Amino acid sequence: MDKVIIFDTTLRDGEQAPGASLNKEEKIQIAGALSELGVDVIEAGFPVSSKGDFQSVKSVAAAVKKSSICGLARALKKDIDAAYEALKKAHRPRIHVFLATSKIHMKYKLKKAKDEIVRLSCDSVKYASKLVGDVEFSPEDASRTDPEFLFRVVETVIKAGAKTVNIPDTVGYSEPQEYGSLIAAIKNNVPNINKAVISVHCHDDLGLAVANSLSAVKNGARQIECTINGIGERAGNASLEEIVMALKTRPDLFGGLSTAIKSARIYKTSRLVSKLTGFTVAPNKAIVGANAFRHESGIHQDGVLKKRSTYEIISPQDVGFYETGLVLGKHSGRHALKERLKAIGIKLSEVQLARAFELFKSLADKKKQIFDEDLIAIVEDEIRVSSPIWQLDDFRINSGFRAVPEAWVRLKRKGKNFQAESSGDGPVDACYKAIDKITGLKGRLVDYSIHSVTAGKDAQGEVAIKIRIKNDIISARAASTDIIEASAKAYINAINKFSSKEFRNEPRPS
Ligand code: KIV
Ligand code: ZN
């Protein structure tokens, strides 16, 4: 097979990154984008883990038809039943069963002997295979599992009906040579291995997740599990965009293996995930970082002007970076806005367009030149947010060199206005305290950062925050030409996330 199956787990392992909680609407939005991107399998969540996760997987399964939709389950009947129920509306449902096989996990976490692990793996795969035709099995912590025992488990689950066997490097312990050899050894030592696809799932604790995945592919793996922007547990998972572009850029090394990913949609998808999870992408991040295609040194700039390939191995357009230019201004009309949005790949309904035009006009009153990034910020912050519970209606700040900062804030909820005043350590703190008085929730700011969306003194500032409410860490962001307004909106977005019905703080799986 010359195709590598892309299995995206942004909505499951990616969402396990602390502070990356997504609500149902956000998951549906990301799943839609992943499907448009060309992802073969979308792991939408872990249905048994919480009511919220169950509902999200169910909604994604009903909404997204082009990709297979997968639900995770431990090797337990109740987990498999929950995954099956959540996936009922999927066109191509997949149940992903996992059970740890390494000595350390079996002894300390599961307290089970080898034979019992084999029996449970076999029974759970048999049970899941009766419910859906497509079952994947993961021997968790496979890279630290005794190889002979791993071969035995893999052979058993394939006999029991697993169509994909995934070999997770759960704790990111492996190294490319070693991990590639493990995949080759599985191919050589498991007699029925040709009846299943070998998949890999690498974590980035040593910064080797992508290298390990690529080494595995060279040794016979044909499915890669990855996430957008590499988000995930601890140091994260292998990044989808890096894997896809490595395979595409070096066909000489990977024997012409290809994926179904439409690379020109990568940047857009990366932005969406960053915005909805609140995880900013580092400027030097490969493929999707803001500096990934910027040439600073004079020698490099000169080379690129003479021939781009002197210093560019990927064309920015190939991953969906577009040329930034001055686009619109105060006098631009609705048609011009629609055309520009179309040019940068944003489709809106007529109602959304009308709202975007209003916002665009009010931004154009404050800012002379409107760039593509400004339009993206408008759409991401104001248009595509699902019916917010609280909205910022107005605010006033009094702050100065010797004055105690004070804020007056008015929020809207279901058409009614609520207002409060507060002082604070600074204008943002005063504002957040006033918002807390109105909502009755107390958020503690864990992280706050601001960057300008474009260049120029009148640029919009994009504020990204993480706040703790009760035991949850919630990420959110917002942009405005007024940084206090952006800060207040980001805070309100976080509160809305917390308050949305779908958001449940139920225990995550270990
Ligand atoms: O890292 C891991 O082992 C996992 C499994 C559930 C596949 O995420
Ligand atoms: Zn994982």
Q: State whether the beta carbon of 129 lies less than 6 angstroms from ligand 1.
A: no
* Chain mean pLDDT for the chain: 92
Torsion of the alpha carbons at 429, 434, 439 and 445, rounded to the nearest 10? 0
Average pLDDT over residues 42-65: 96
- pLDDT beyond 50 at 229: yes
User: Which of these ranges, 19-23, 166-170, 199-203, 285-289, has the smallest mean pLDDT?
Assistant: 19-23
- pLDDT in the model for residue 501: 53
Structure-token match 């502070």, residue found: 19
User: Which of these ranges, 273-282, 325-334, 450-459, has the smallest mean pLDDT?
Assistant: 325-334
Our measurement of the distance from residue 448's CA atom to the centroid of its chain's CA atoms, rounded to an integer in Å, reads 20
Q: Which sign, positive or negative, has the C-alpha torsion 238, 244, 250, 255?
A: positive
pLDDT digits (tens, 9 = 90+) for 339-391: 888 877 788 889 889 989 999 998 988 888 888 878 888 887 777 666 688 99
CA atoms within 13 A on the CB side of 305: 7
Closest Cα partner for 236 from 171, 185, 165? 171
- pLDDT beyond 50 at 444: yes
Q: How far apart are CA 499 and CA 502, in angstroms?
A: 8
- pLDDT in the model for residue 324: 54
Q: State whether the beta carbon of 140 lies less than 6 angstroms from ligand 1.
A: yes
- pLDDT beyond 90 at 107: yes
Our measurement of the distance from residue 286's CA atom to the centroid of its chain's CA atoms, rounded to an integer in Å, reads 16
Q: How far apart are CA 49 and CA 300, in angstroms?
A: 50
Do 176 and 141 touch, CB atoms closer than 8 A?
A: no
- pLDDT in the model for residue 509: 45
335 marked as binding residue: no
Q: How far apart are CA 397 and CA 400, in angstroms?
A: 10
203 marked as binding residue: yes
237 marked as binding residue: yes
Structure-token match 């021939």, residue found: 307
Most confident region among 224-228, 315-319, 359-363 by mean pLDDT: 224-228
- pLDDT in the model for residue 327: 66
Q: How far apart are CA 406 and CA 422, in angstroms?
A: 6
Q: State whether the beta carbon of 137 lies less than 6 angstroms from ligand 1.
A: no
pLDDT digits (tens, 9 = 90+) for 133-150: 999 999 999 999 999 999
Q: State whether the beta carbon of 168 lies less than 6 angstroms from ligand 1.
A: yes
447 marked as binding residue: no
- Collapsed DSSP state (helix, strand, coil) of residue 149: helix
- pLDDT beyond 90 at 177: yes
Q: State whether the beta carbon of 212 lies less than 6 angstroms from ligand 1.
A: no
Q: How far apart are CA 474 and CA 64, in angstroms?
A: 26
Q: Which amino acid is at 67?
A: S
Whole-number Å distance, alpha carbon 260 to ligand 1 midpoint, is: 23
- pLDDT in the model for residue 25: 86
Do 224 and 164 touch, CB atoms closer than 8 A?
A: no
Do 353 and 333 touch, CB atoms closer than 8 A?
A: no
- pLDDT beyond 90 at 222: yes
User: Of the bound ligands, which one is closest to the alpha carbon of residue 174?
Assistant: 1
- pLDDT in the model for residue 345: 75
Most confident region among 13-27, 126-140, 491-505 by mean pLDDT: 126-140
